[in-house]
A and B are shown apart, each in its own frame.
Chain A
Amino acid sequence: MTTFLQQLVNGLSLGSIYALIALGYTMVYGVLRLINFAHGDVYMVGAYVGYYLSRKLRGAEPSIGSALLVMLGAMLACAALGVLIERFAYRPVRREARLTLLITAIGVSLFLENGAQLVFGPDPKFFPSLAPRTDFLIGGVRLTSEQITVIAVSFLLMILLRLFILKTRTGKAMRAVSFSLDASRLMGISTDRIIATTFALGSALAAAAGVLIGMQIPKIDPLMGILYGLKAFVAAVLGGIGSVPGAVLGGLLIGTSEVMVVGYLSSTYRDAIAFGILILVLILRPQGLLGRVHKEKV
């Protein structure tokens, strides 16, 4: 039983990372109907920005303050990266066929992966510890402060995102754009600005996920975004692409089932399970678990 609970904790902390990345997919899909394949790589860049920032701060003792600084820095940098990608890669072809946009996304993804190998070097890097570490032992289940941070920060960010979408003017505009791009423009909404904001938000969340995974694993490499990106994409589809709570639910489900499969069956099926779930969802419930047509899409 202890082992099972421990696996549950492991699964939830992995799942909340997937959930954070999945949010970016789902938001961009909501407004542009685009699967942003470069999203996983933005997550990778986030991890690297975090890595270099924390190396800069290394003189200081690990503390909550410096951890926050690293996370905010990475989120800002990736928000800027997201806006740049949208401005220079997607906006010029936004009016073209959907396929053009999709292929552009794959191009951006390859550009980021290979660019990162050139700039950061192809070797894996070790993420330094950011915050002082303590372990908690609750009924035989070991919770590290990193796992708690990962789960807590993920949920905090997800709640903030939901409040932002539901309660602010920009959030309202995002929902409008997601409902109909043309109608929103006719109503005087600056759609370019809203789309850029969406990319900035999604990328910032991916950067947060990158820093969190760096704290937890703690190894980062330029191709780390591929598999995490794909699984987060599966999570977004599972939850219902376009639905924010769906992305969170999907992420947690994928993370937990993956850990359980590795723990109780075999690690060979680790990736098979995520993609098996994707196929099942597409056959049985193409709109996803929480996906409903025209309801709360961002």
Chain B
Amino acid sequence: MRLRLFTALCLAAVVATTLFCGPKGSGKEIVIGEYGSLTGGIATFGISTKNASEMAFDEINKKGGVLGKQIKLLVEDDQSKPEEAGTAVTKLINQDRVVAMLGHVASSQSLAAAPICQSNHVPMISPSSTNPRVTQVGDYIFRVCFTDTFTGEVVAKFAYDTLKARKVAILVDVRSDYSVGLQTFFGEAFKRRGGEIVANQSYSQGDSDFRAQLTQIKATNPEAIYVPGYYTEVGTIVHQGRELGITVPFLGSDGWDSPKLWEIGGEALNGCYFSNHYSTDDPSPAVQKFVNDYKGKYGQVPDALAALAYDAARVMADAIGRAGSTDGKKIRDEIAATKNFPGVTGTITINAERNAVKPAVILKVENGKYLLVETITPEAVKQ
């Protein structure tokens, strides 16, 4: 009997804490949640995203915060596992009672978490998930980057017009929504321009031996190889490809953008290209100020994920300010109304599909540096 009473008390305590502990919209702070990969295969993405959103909110808090309150950022780690993203977001919403959500970089994680945010009416801005399906989950889900449909067009245009490649092989990560999406969009765009996809090979995140796929690709004699994956595997793939005697350039997209890419792939990466959201070479004062501030604070050159996270955090704070309240519905409406917001990665206007429309850049890897080769606007890829 006593035991049963004890159990009941425990249960009551648990219920009470989950119900009443959250400071939702009350108190001196506005709590915003972020879920990201702070450990595991795409950890540098999660860390630079976290750094940049903290930097953005610090700056805003120094200027007095939003609605007269300070912004508090709570970050949960998903260990680079899509299945953990749902758990992280559920905790942030139910236990920490966040008013809005930032995240994720990887589309698979965003797709796992977005339905939870949508059903709880917590507005979510993904800084850098580019798979088109992410914002199609519902009207509370936004992003401040362009989508893979555009990235595919950009890389196809670059490969066809600038590299003059006509035969391209694709090596895709079948476990990533981002990678599979890009495979389709790039393939369609490249074929429409008159090119040929000579091989479609695949791998799974976490694999470490790619010799079998690369051997098959080599036999088809492509003029370039598109690997729309994440840096951990890409570095290894390019390294093993060069060992097998593949000399043509490897092409990639924003998943390559990490200082670790060079550490893993090394000299094998020289002469490879990838598409990205911004270039640190951009002379505009907004970009240079961001790059210098970030370097001063974290001792590292900010990757595009950091720049996008910085923009996402500021768009979110701006929307909360205009909403004049921490009500989910009102914040949602204001994010949707974002127009000509001056971001580091370009001017951000949220369109009817809740995406941002912006130009992309092509970077060339050379001795550990990512050099700006070309900027491609949404108008330029239209045919």
Q: Interface of A with B (CB < 8 Å)?
A: 2-3, 6-7, 10-11, 14, 117, 122-124, 126, 135, 137, 142, 144, 146, 213, 217-219, 221, 224, 227, 258-260, 262-264, 266-268, 270
Contact = CB atoms under 8 A, between A and B. Distances in A.
Contacts of A123: 39-40, 43-44, 260
A219 B202 contact: no
Contacts of A126: 235, 263-264, 266
B215 A263 contact: yes
Contact of B243 (A14, A117, A144): A144
B43 A263 contact: no
Nearest to B216: A263
B205 to A, nearest CB: 11
A219 B260 contact: no
Contacts of A146: 243
A2 to B, nearest CB: 8
Contact of B213 (A11, A137, A260, A263): A263
B232 A219 contact: yes
A263 B171 CA distance: 12
A7 B41 contact: no
Nearest to A10: B211
B381 interface: no
Nearest to A261: B212
B185 interface: no
Interface in B237-275: 239-240, 243-245, 260, 263-264, 266
A122 B202 contact: no
Given A123-B260, A142-B245, A219-B235, A224 B212 contact: no
A218 B264 CA distance: 8
Interface of B: 39-41, 43-44, 79, 174, 201-204, 206-209, 211-213, 215-216, 218-219, 232, 235-236, 239-240, 243-245, 260, 263-264, 266
A252 to B, nearest CB: 15
Nearest to B39: A122
A122 B215 contact: no
B215 A268 contact: no
Nearest to A263: B212
Contacts of B219: 2-3
Nearest to A220: B208
A231 to B, nearest CB: 11
A260 B206 CA distance: 19
A3 B216 contact: yes
Enumerate the 3 nearest inter-chain pairs by beta-carbon distance, A residue then B residue, closest first: A262-B212, A122-B39, A10-B211
Contacts of A117: 39
- From A10, A135, A258, A262, residue with most partner B Cβ within 10 Å: A262
A258 B211 CA distance: 11
A28 to B, nearest CB: 25
Nearest to A126: B264
Contacts of B206: 227
Contacts of A2: 219
Nearest to A228: B208
Nearest to A133: B243
B228 to A, nearest CB: 15
A118 to B, nearest CB: 11
Contacts of A135: 243, 245
B350 to A, nearest CB: 34
B41 to A, nearest CB: 7
A268 B213 CA distance: 12
Given A267-B174, A267-B202, A270-B204, A3 B215 contact: yes
A142 B203 contact: no
Contact of B236 (A137, A142, A219): A219
Contact of A266 (B202, B209, B232, B260): B202
A263 B216 CA distance: 6
Contacts of B201: 267
A262 B208 CA distance: 13
Contacts of B239: 218
Nearest to B40: A122
A267 B39 contact: no
Nearest to A266: B202
B240 to A, nearest CB: 8
Contact of A268 (B174, B232, B245): B174
A126 B240 CA distance: 13
Contacts of A142: 243-245
A216 to B, nearest CB: 8
A219 B240 CA distance: 11
A259 B212 contact: yes
A268 B180 CA distance: 13
A122 B209 contact: no
A54 to B, nearest CB: 15
A217 B264 CA distance: 10
A254 B325 CA distance: 61
Contact of A267 (B203, B232, B244): B203
Contacts of A258: 212
Contacts of A10: 209, 211-212, 215
Which one of B202, B207, B208 has the greatest number of beta carbons of chain A within 10 Å?
Answer: B208
A267 B236 contact: no
A95 B96 CA distance: 49
Which of A137, A224, A260, A270 counts the most chain B CB atoms within 10 A? A270
